[in-house]
Amino acid sequence: MPTKTADRARPTYFPQLAAERLDIALCRASAAVARAADAHAAEEGLGVGQHLVLQMLDAVGPCSQQTLSEELRIDRSVMVSVCDDLEQAGHVRRERNPHDRRSYAVTITGSGRQRLAEAQTSIPAFLDGTFQALAPEERSQLTALLGKLLRLGD
């Protein structure tokens, strides 16, 4: 059983691990940002997934739940719940897809646009707080590197 003295003297290993294993560092950073985003979303009363769905619908127009799920990388079963909640709140409506009667098109409503606009106002401050350890140039560089890693724009 370790002593209290041994616990206080214990070296911190994670910085070394993160320096040696970029994959571990990236996973931990991603988890920390996800926790911050979830906490921010709880304060705003609009879940991260809900916000993303409203943002995409506002940007590209009506989409099937499958398209929303694939583009936003949200599991299909979770997407059903996200759309159900948004529909109950009056922020989206689901209608038969005129191009494929087997699926539904999800459309943002006026209420959804208003809710999105309200939520968007707090995003800059959230990002500034979450990434405060990085200078603006470093944030831009991180954005570019992550885009490259995720092969965005290919």
Task: Write down the residue that tokens 């944030």 correspond to.
Answer: 139
Strand pairing partners for 93?
A: 107
**Which tens digits make up the pLDDT trace of 110-128?**
999 999 999 999 999 999 9
CATH of range 20-121; options 3.40.50.300, 1.10.10.60, 1.10.10.10, 1.10.3720.10: 1.10.10.10
Distance, in Å, from the CA atom of 26 to the CA atom of 94, rounded to the nearest integer, reads: 37
pTM, two decimals, is 0.79
Domain ranges of the chain: 20-121
What pLDDT score was predicted for residue 97?
77
What pLDDT score was predicted for residue 11?
67
**Which tens digits make up the pLDDT trace of 22-73?**
888 999 999 999 999 999 998 889 999 999 999 999 999 999 999 999 999 9
Distance, in Å, from the CA atom of 89 to the CA atom of 112, rounded to the nearest integer, reads: 9
